[in-house]
Amino acid sequence: MVSKTINLNFIPDIFDNKVRGVVIMGIDLTERIEYEKKLENKNSELVRINNDLDNFIYTASHDLKAPIINMEALVDIVFEWYKGSKSQEQQSLIEMIKTSIERLKITIEELTEISRIQRGVNDAAEEVSFKSIINDFEQDYREQIKKDNVTFIEDLQIPSIHYSKKNLRSIIYNLLSNAIKYRSEQDPVIHIKTGRSDDGRIMLSFKDNGLGLDERQQRKLFQMFKRLHTHVEGTGVGLYIVKKMIENTGGSIEVESEPDNGSTFRIIF
């Protein structure tokens, strides 16, 4: 015998201010409840699978760090052993190995970062100066900035924000390095601005004169492992990480862009 769940509504039948009887209306909720139970079980299963995947990424990325560091050290030893006696071909081969190891290290670091933000883990917020992180970037990338003749134009109407310093550094570094990486034939000019959004929240924007993106590319821009320009190095996870970091704290990021006419990334914290 199948149990049923019925929702009953009792409606009084009133005539001439007197109750003549009661109309009973029933709705069979059995199928709806069974469907909701199945949906709940499915959601629980998806959450479990997602957690297992996060745990795997976290464990794998951490467990891979040690052997990669060992490989890097061994290559450096080999490089020193044959220093001055190896042929051009051998030297090129060693450089290729070192480059591959460096790419693998970057990939592992990004997988670790993805795992961290997927878990919603954020460092403690503190008052962070936008200018200080921009200065750090200019110092860390000084050779690249000099080589590509990059110009920064700053309009920091709001000097600081209460935010995770590590996350803000990652956001600014990603967007500034992309603006340089995806430059056009002309010298890069990057406008960095802070201010208030229409609803009063802190806004940070980056405007460049680079390659730009069409509408199709913009729709894929923040997806994981999507690379829209293949002529430069990259893993395709930087903007995915940036978007997740911003959304985890209730913010949003948007882009305005046209091919050959640059891009503007706007962050609302």
Domain ranges of the chain: 32-118, 126-268
Between these two residues, 66 and 151, which has the higher pLDDT value? 151
Banded pLDDT at 91 (limits 50, 70, 90): confident
Q: For position 218, what pLDDT does the model report?
A: 76
Q: Which CATH class is domain 126-268?
A: alpha beta
Q: For position 28, what pLDDT does the model report?
A: 77
User: Cα–Cα distance between 171 and 151 in angstroms, integer?
Assistant: 19
- Note the pLDDT tens digit of each residue in 168-187: 988 999 899 989 988 888 88
Q: For position 31, what pLDDT does the model report?
A: 79
Q: Report the 10 Å Cβ neighbour count for 105.
A: 16
Average pLDDT over residues 214-226: 73
Cβ-contact 113, 151 below 8 angstroms: no
- Note the pLDDT tens digit of each residue in 254-263: 989 888 888 9
AA letter at 7: N
* CATH 3.40.50.261 for the 32-118 domain, yes or no: no
- Note the pLDDT tens digit of each residue in 33-80: 777 777 777 777 666 666 666 666 666 666 676 777 777 787 778 777
pTM recorded for the entire structure: 0.59
Cβ-contact 167, 202 below 8 angstroms: no
